[in-house]
Amino acid sequence: MATWSPVSTKIWRGRDDSLESTVARRLFQTIQIAHTFTPQYFRNQVALLGFECDEGVRLNKGRPGAKEAPDFIRKAMANLAAHLDHDKIVDLGNLEAAENGLEHAQSVLAEHIRQCHQWNMKTVVLGGGHETAYGHGLGVYHAYPNAKIGIINFDAHLDIRKTKQASSGTPFKQLADYCIEAQRPFNYMCVGANLSTNTQALLDVAQELDVQILWDTECQQANFPSVVERVNKFIDSVDIVYLTIDLDALPSNTMSAVSAPATLGVQFHFLLALAEEIKNSKKVRAVDFVEYNPSLDTQALCAKVAARFVWQMCLGWCTDYSE
């Protein structure tokens, strides 16, 4: 089972500088909080939704704890300055997955995502493990049945395991299977993959599915123009982009609070700049941030990294909407 609940208003609190200036605003002052799941009231805005689940991490033999991430990231976001389009963020609450109910929770998430896009909302999902991506991605496919969807994944892992049991290691294989069944093209690019943590079995699946891979060793600042060129070529081939960001793509000295910290990783400023390029394509309709584990974040520094990433993605994201 999966249950929906509104976010507590206690989460969105911060420093009040309103006496200084009417434009000295922070996210806690501009965020819209929905007390019921009613995307029909928030057309053309950004839906923020938490997916409280780490069942997939457990099944993938990882370190559980990501289930608690959505509210921790919200707290870290609350005091950030509100700028262009941040006032269009609507907090549509959390979906909590029950133990042993992963596939049902993913289907419930997909339906909530479909409804958001039905009302022309863009979606930001805070995971949760990377099992989040199957539910989020499936919702995007359902919302745009005639569109060519492109998935861009910032991740050290390809997450295309061939197993009977769904987990945080299977979401893109599950989406590929959906595409085969629905007779839709599967377009998937993984940025920042770590060859030392992806077995030959995964590389064989990647070849079968024609997955495009940019290795972490390629994602260095000197190569940024060529990386952008390859990513833009991928974007040009699709109608809509779903961007999924596994925070374990970052180096462990930046993001240690994940199930599998990266030994090399891709620098934060590199991924921020690349995400900005992708956003500028005006094809991004959905993004999620997954695998942050608050139980491993003793000083809440990693929560601040995740919060900055979400903040940056939402900055100016709605300016391309047409009524």
pLDDT digits (tens, 9 = 90+) for 14-71: 999 988 998 999 999 999 999 999 999 999 999 999 999 999 899 899 999 999 999 9
- What residues in the chain have per-residue pLDDT under 70? 320-323
pLDDT digits (tens, 9 = 90+) for 58-82: 989 999 999 999 999 999 999 999 9
Which one, of 81, 80, 106, 84, lies nearest residue 95 by Cα? 106
pLDDT confidence of residue 18: 85
pLDDT confidence of residue 99: 78
pLDDT confidence of residue 323: 43
pLDDT confidence of residue 320: 59
CB 278 within 8 A of CB 241: yes
First to last CA, the chain: 37
Cα separation, 197 vs 204, in Å, equals 14
CB 160 within 8 A of CB 202: yes
pLDDT confidence of residue 67: 95
CB 225 within 8 A of CB 233: no
pTM for this model (two decimals): 0.97
CB 176 within 8 A of CB 211: no
Contacts of 76 (CB under 8 A, 6+ apart): 300, 303, 304, 306, 307
Domains of the chain (ranges plus CATH)? 2-314 (3.40.800.10)
Contacts of 90 (CB under 8 A, 6+ apart): 31, 32, 33, 34, 42, 45, 46, 47, 48, 121
pLDDT confidence of residue 321: 53
pLDDT confidence of residue 1: 72
122 HSE (CA, 13 A, CB side): 28
Beta-carbon neighbour count of residue 53 at 10 Å? 32
